[in-house]
Structure 1
């Protein structure tokens, strides 16, 4: 049986990015890990990942969760480095 860490280790995203997907979609982390692999298969999916984290940051700001905003900001910076928004999206 696979542990949650095994599932996360299999993914091309880090734990913070996967947790951000889970938060945004209101799904368990293990399901978010599976979803992350699907999203990374297309330029549109990568853009959707970026949007999810940005929307999470906006929500955290709205409710005054400033420490969470900082955590999400670090997560987003990592996503930008490892999976930047494709330049030819929609072309």
Structure 2
């Protein structure tokens, strides 16, 4: 039997990155893991994940949840350092926020 931990491990993303996608898209964690894996395969998808996390940060700030905003900023920093290639970051400057659903 495959577990959620197995699926997260196979996605190449951290649990926190998957949780940010799940929060943003209002998806179960298992579906967010699959979506995250799919999106992380292309520069455009990587920008989409980055924008999702940025949206989650903005939402936490509006809700005055500074602890959550701080955690998400760490998640964003980790994601950009470990997943986005330089071309994706460069081309992503000035892009709007992206939503999948």
Q: TM-score, normalised by structure 2?
A: 0.83
Aligned to 2:60: 60
Alignment length, in residue pairs? 89
1:31-70 aligned within 5 A: 31-70=31-70
Aligned to 2:12: 12
> Where do 5+ consecutive residues of structure 2 fail to align?
93-101
Find runs of 4+ consecutive structure 1 residues off by over 6 angstroms: none
TM-score of the superposed pair, with normalisation by structure 1: 0.91
Q: Please report how far the alpha carbon of residue 88 of structure 1 lies from its aligned counterpart in structure 2 after TM superposition.
A: 4.8
Two-structure CA RMSD over aligned residues (Å): 1.3
Q: How far 1:41 moved relative to its partner?
A: 1.6
- The alpha carbon displacement at 1:9 in A equals 1.1
Gaps of 5+ in 1: none
Q: In the TM superposition, what whole-angstrom CA distance separates every residue of 1:28-78 from its partner, at most 9, and x where no partner exists? A: 011000001110121110000000000000000001111000110110010
Structure 2 Cα separation of the partners of residues 73 and 36 of structure 1:
18
Measured in 1, the distance between the counterparts of 2:80 and 2:24 equals 18
Residue 81 of structure 1 is matched in structure 2 by 81
